[in-house]
Amino acid sequence: MSTMKKKENESRADIGLIGLAVMGENLALNMAGKGWKVSVYNRTVKGVEEGVVERFVEGRAKETTIQGHTDIASFVASLATPRKIMMMVRAGSPVDELMEQLFPLLDAGDILIDGGNSNYEDTNRRVTLSESKGFRFVGSGVSGGEEGALNGASIMPGGSQSAWSEVKPILQSIAAKAEDGTPCCDWIGPAGSGHFVKMIHNGIEYADMQLIGEAYWLMKKLLKLDNEDMADIFARWNTLKLRSYLVEITANILRHKDGDGNYLLDKILDAAGQKGTGKWSVINAMELGMPLGVIATAVFERSFSGQTELRKEAATKFDLKRTEAVHDQTDTVNDIYTALYASKLTSYAQGFAVLQKASDTFGWNLNLSSIARMWRGGCIIRSAFLNDIATAFAAPQKPGNLLLSDYFEEEIRGVLPGWKRVVTLATADEIPLPAFASALNYFYSLTSPKLPANLIQAQRDYFGAHTFERIDQPRGVFFHENWTGHGGDTKSGSYNV
């Protein structure tokens, strides 16, 4: 590049950002605050969203150097090469539409970054498409909501490897910093791996929220604690091993009063919504043949919560005694703490096992310890025990399952009695706690050298000639039994899903 061209390039913006909704605006302000020259663009839909760019540049961005563009070509031209363009638009077809508009305006080596919640398979496709045209594509999960976008998010980039050194200084500067000062952003791996990791992050978030909900419900229904008592308990837990953003905000939510002086939480309808990343986590775990029961339970419980009329009707038909028993409050609260800790751990163990399986299946070479470190700050599931998880996965002998690492094996040993007591107590007192129970049952299955699947396989062979392996023969040798005496010897084709 000639000196003149170099100078021209230096005067241009370091990064461009497209999509000025809540995430895009705050990320742009975060970047500008870190000293980067930022250009922004938002499509203008006449009569609907007219003036989005002007409103931002004249409003929140007024005191900054952020340049606004209402024309995509002038936006692209304002960027230093290789161009770095971050898209913060609605996931799905908007990303493809935007890419089609951008492609003719780009030069070889330019980098598109999709920071939205895209499906990782879309990102696989977009990386391949962009690279086939000589461009680079980074699919990056961003977690932390509005607050994280402005003050530091957890950022999970993957895709075109050669883009990492170019985007790393910018992305790491706007990422949250863990307590040891490390940025919560590092390279995840090729193709759609960044979005896959973000998806599992969100799945874990669903499970964390369901488990905290069950802990709250047990204290309310089983122990009849009031909101202030429960807020104190969650606040105390937030100083212990359960220290995390979600536990912290739960204490705040429990104390929050409405305008009339009553607790707002008690007035909120018990019907939880969802946007889909929990569901995607479960679908993908199923595709990979991996158990992800705690997250699946959390997703199904959100669906169930929406069936309010059905639940009301069922409650009138079954007069369950519910919560008549009196339990020692201190002991039971301690047991709920241990059950929440153990169930959370189980959910993380399942989530990380899915990541490992995806890594092996797709050849991503994921670093689970680094992923755990990236989730320590900025994101919704940030928590103290991610330090212990990162350490467990950094061990020279990587555990086959998180719960089997030396540290967590000891932890589970310590909390198992309380975990069992809580599940037993609530079941007997007819209080639903599906995620706690699912987690405990996963642990029981995990630690069972034998399971009743011999019977399932026998049934499959009985009705469908699906064959079985025998314990007295090597693995991989399949047998078929003529169970009824009048079946034939023909076996069904065997395949696994």
In this chain, which of 116, 192, 377, 399 binds ligand NBP, going by CB under 6 A?
116
Q: Which is nearer to ligand NBP, 280 or 337 (CB)?
A: 280
Q: Does 147 bind ligand NBP (CB under 6 A)?
A: no
Q: Does 22 bind ligand NBP (CB under 6 A)?
A: yes
Q: Does 380 bind ligand NBP (CB under 6 A)?
A: no
End-to-end CA distance of the chain, in Å?
54
The CA distance from 273 to 256, in Å, is 21
Q: Does 42 bind ligand NBP (CB under 6 A)?
A: yes
Stretch that binds ligand NBP, among 92-100, 297-305, 323-331, 477-485 (CB under 6 A): 92-100
Residue nearest to ligand NBP (CB): 116
Measured in degrees and rounded to the nearest 5, phi and psi for residue 214 equal -70, -40
State the nearest-atom distance from the C-beta of 113 to ligand NBP, in Å: 12
In this structure, how many other beta carbons lie within 10 angstroms of the beta carbon of residue 362? 18
The CA distance from 421 to 332, in Å, is 9
Q: Which is nearer to ligand NBP, 144 or 418 (CB)?
A: 144
In this structure, how many other beta carbons lie within 10 angstroms of the beta carbon of residue 248? 17
State the nearest-atom distance from the C-beta of 194 to ligand NBP, in Å: 12
State the nearest-atom distance from the C-beta of 58 to ligand NBP, in Å: 16
Stretch that binds ligand NBP, among 67-75, 142-150, 428-436, 448-456 (CB under 6 A): 142-150
State the nearest-atom distance from the C-beta of 156 to ligand NBP, in Å: 11
Q: How many residues bind ligand NBP (CB under 6 A)?
A: 24
Which is catalytic among the residues 205, 214, 301, 411? 205
Q: Does 192 bind ligand NBP (CB under 6 A)?
A: no
Measured in degrees and rounded to the nearest 5, phi and psi for residue 292 equal -140, 45
In this chain, which of 112, 142, 209, 389 binds ligand NBP, going by CB under 6 A?
142
Per the listing, tokens 């086939």 go with 132
In this chain, which of 109, 145, 190, 434 binds ligand NBP, going by CB under 6 A?
145
Q: Does 386 bind ligand NBP (CB under 6 A)?
A: no
Order the strands of the 154-159 sheet from edge to edge: 67-69, 38-41, 15-18, 84-87, 111-114, 136-143, 154-159
The CA distance from 227 to 248, in Å, is 14
CA distances from 94 to 22, 106, 114, 234, 415 (A): 16, 18, 11, 41, 47
In this chain, which of 7, 90, 224, 322 binds ligand NBP, going by CB under 6 A?
90
Q: Does 121 bind ligand NBP (CB under 6 A)?
A: no
Which is catalytic among the residues 37, 84, 166, 198? 198
The CA distance from 163 to 186, in Å, is 12
Alpha helix positions (H), 322-452: 329-362, 368-374, 386-394, 406-428, 434-446
Q: Is 198 labeled as catalytic in the residue annotation?
A: yes
Q: Is 205 labeled as catalytic in the residue annotation?
A: yes
Contact 42, 52 (CB under 8 A): yes
Burial of 305 (0-12, 13-18, 19+ CB in 10 A): middle
Stretch that binds ligand NBP, among 76-84, 138-146, 181-189, 365-373 (CB under 6 A): 138-146
In this chain, which of 79, 98, 353, 425 binds ligand NBP, going by CB under 6 A?
98
Q: Does 24 bind ligand NBP (CB under 6 A)?
A: yes
Single-letter residue type at 343: S
Point out the residues that are catalytic. 198, 205
